[in-house]
Structure 1
Amino acid sequence: MEIGLETLNQLVSWLAGEFENQAQALDQPAWFVHLRLWHRPLPFLIDGYPALFAEQANALYLDKPYRQRVVTFRPTDPPDRLQAQYYACKQPDRWQGAGANPDRLQSLTLEDLELLPGCRLTVMRQDDWFKADPVPDTQCCFQYQGETRQVILGFEVSADTFLSYDRGVDPKTEQALWGAIMGAYRFQKRQNFGVELV
């Protein structure tokens, strides 16, 4: 079944918001840190399609969010799926806190972003969920503090729940280092930012 712009917009609307995994962190504190996650719509389109600014923070240190990135969404071929493409922020510290303070994104431009070619996901609709998996034969790598880091991306999202499968791995051994090592981080939506979509 061909996916149209209405379905794409629903995906982005479900993703747009502030999320928290408090229940999971209380239930399994040994395995899951209590996190806050923001997916804030950018005030402009990228290549004609919507994009989200994403960052997260330890709930104990909400003033120190990290993992600043931008993700765009578009139809792809075959037409029964969507594509999510990630970008790195060239100066992530400059945008730190923009998830909770969207006015800071007004000065963000494409020149502030770096395309991460291997960081792409294929998104499929599954009943009341969307599921995103890495494109086969790709590696999502980026530079952090002078070192090459690799992350395996993936998520599922419904109207009020976001599951993150992101996990950092050793680029040489692919041994998991951080993230969803013991299963997905399960976030519940606290605020909906869908009205901010352009």
Structure 2
Amino acid sequence: MEDQHSLTVNGSGSSAGGDYNKVKIRGEGTISNDMSCNEFKTYGTSEVRGNMKVKNYVVYGDSEVQGNVDAEFVKVYGNTQMNSDAHIEKTKVRGMIEVKGKFTGDFVDVKGALNVKGDIEVEELSLTGGLESDGLLNAENIEISLRYEGSKVREIGGKKITVRKKARFIPFTSHAGRLQTSIIEGDEIY
């Protein structure tokens, strides 16, 4: 993909899908079909009306993908909605990601919010923010630090599972973190 052209949208614009090296959207941009690229950055609002295959996907505003997402690295400081399945090797959430299908990957670091309608299957999950899933959370290593947000997962399964209350930054607040689940199964549970 290094030989592919790049796409930059400043203001408002749209483009057909295809193969790109870099896609940068500053403003409002729409990709009307399947696309693949090395780097996709949104500094405003973006929509992909197909599947997305990307190495680095960075969101500083709002982004929506109608199809499946296949990514090596995703970093979200705003809001991202994935309307189908997502496979992301490394995920860093400082805003919010919503996945309407299943979520798979290697490493997930959530200090914002992750909402998944289907199952979550990853190697490692580190959670300080909020997590909601109607399915099974399955990982080798799960570390959940409850601070402000309430988390709700139907089932949790893994090798090593750690759940702990974390000190709040703001004293005297009444919003303590909590975890609601039906089943927790693991080799080591702390």
Task: State the TM-score, normalizing by the size of structure 1.
Answer: 0.21
Tell me which protein shows more strand as a share of its residues: 2
Tell me which structure has the larger Cα radius of gyration.
2
Task: State the TM-score, normalizing by the size of structure 2.
Answer: 0.22
Higher RCO (Cα < 8 Å, 6 or more apart):
1
Tell me which protein shows more helix as a share of its residues: 1
